[in-house]
Structure 1
Amino acid sequence: MQDGESGGPRRRAEIFSATLDMLGSVGFDSLTIEGVAQRSGVNKTTIYRWWSSKSELLRDALLHSHILRFELADTGSLRGDLTALAEQVQSLLDDEHRRTIVEAALVGAVRHQAMRDLVVSFLDDRFGRHRPVFERAVARGDLPADADPAPLVDAMAGALWMRVLVRRGEVAGTYTRDLVGILMDGVTRAAERSGAPGR
């Protein structure tokens, strides 16, 4: 996409919002650039000039839209950072609009390789953004230097997704604290085995 286009940033935001809205309402199968153009009020020739396929458009929408974005806190401890991260994921899934988008993306990922690739790309991007949490934890001694944080993130996100998206259960503060507590028990045992203090 050409950043020099008049109104580019604002138009991008409108297009990304329309793309994710359409994904949530009609799913990956029925999402079309023509439909996005209609929803966003942007001419479809403009969209095609910036993105050659709906997969390219959807990838950028997932990665760059503010709808699925949240900021990470630096609480001074891994337990606090994980709790804050869990609360951010919970907040995202508690919002009906954003939850519908996440559900549509996951359903599409099960059925279509293209959508699966997009979801994996999105998750990899988010994991990269979360990495400072674990770098700080290693520096503080909360995590062993050779620890792989990926299973930790997968376990936390997976538990929240299962609770909200599958079981349709509420995520009370006690659930989040219990979940983080279970994860921290594992982190502490790993740290003790490696000689790091862990907490």
Structure 2
Amino acid sequence: MPDGRGPRRAQEIFTATLELLTELGYDGLTVEGVAARSGVNKTTLYRWWPSKDALLGAALLDARIFELSIPDTGSLRGDLESLLRQVNRLLTGAKTGAIASAALSAALHRPELATVLGAFFGDRLSQELPIFDRARARGELPDGTDPRLLMDLLGGALWMRALIRQEAPKPAFVREIVDVVLRGAAVA
């Protein structure tokens, strides 16, 4: 856990949570199942996470399989293409794609989980901000450009293609959406 607090076997718990989510879907995921899979007492899980949504949220926030490396290629275009290729791999990977799909589907009807996913994406955006700061310093983006809007447009296109349309975005698609978004963000 980021602050160092949590049960000693947090990673095993989070791994079990995400494995069960992938195997059984959100409805099949239970705290009891996570306890059995991770070898941790159910009362320990409830001590740290009062609900299945809280446990799943913690697993998503701390899951190392969703880590991204923030690129520094020397250009905004290169950074965005590199970042989106990583996101594309996460969305289309057998394990990570299944987790993302199950979690997003469940979040539509689970306010607590939706709040956690909002924090997850907020954390990702905070990690990506240096890309936009460097681009502004190089004169590639005008002041006042909203990084959140740009990432929503870029990421949304990938999510739509991969999760809604069930198509694996090809590398050319990453270049195309970066081109379209950067043309729209350019100084008129």
Q: Is the TM-score greater than 0.5?
A: yes
The answer for the alignment partner of 2:174 in structure 1 is 176
The answer for the alignment partner of 2:65 in structure 1 is 67
Percent of aligned pairs with the same amino acid: 44
The answer for the alignment partner of 1:152 in structure 2 is 150
Provide structure 2 residue ranges, at least 5 long, that are not aligned to the other structure: none
Structure 2 letter corresponding to 1:45: T
2:59 counterpart of 1:42: no
1:51 to 49, 52, 56: 49
2:108 counterpart of 1:110: yes
Rounded Cα–Cα distance in structure 2 between residues aligned with 1:78 and 1:182:
13
- How many residue pairs were aligned? 187
1:138 to 136, 139, 148: 136
Q: Deviations over 1:104-145 (max 9, x none)?
A: 111111122222212212111111111111111111111122
What is the root-mean-square deviation in Å for CA atoms of aligned residues?
A: 2.0
Cα distance change, pair 4–133 in 1 and its aligned pair in 2 (3 A):
closer
Kept in 1, the 8 Å contact 2:54–2:112? The answer is no
TM-score, scaled to structure 2: 0.90
Q: Deviations over 1:159-190 (max 9, x none)?
A: 111111122223222111111111111122xx
Structure 2 letter corresponding to 1:76: G
2:2 counterpart of 1:18: no
Give, in angstroms, the shift of residue 3 of structure 1.
Answer: 4.6
Rounded Cα–Cα distance in structure 1 between residues aligned with 2:48 and 2:145:
40
Deviates more, 1:97-106 or 1:163-172: 163-172
Give, in angstroms, the shift of residue 155 of structure 1.
Answer: 0.9
> Which runs of at least 4 in structure 1 moved beyond 6 Å after TM superposition?
none
TM-score, scaled to structure 1: 0.85
Provide structure 1 residue ranges, at least 5 long, that are not aligned to the other structure: 194-199
Cα distance change, pair 46–176 in 1 and its aligned pair in 2 (3 A):
same
Which one has the largest radius of gyration?
A: 1
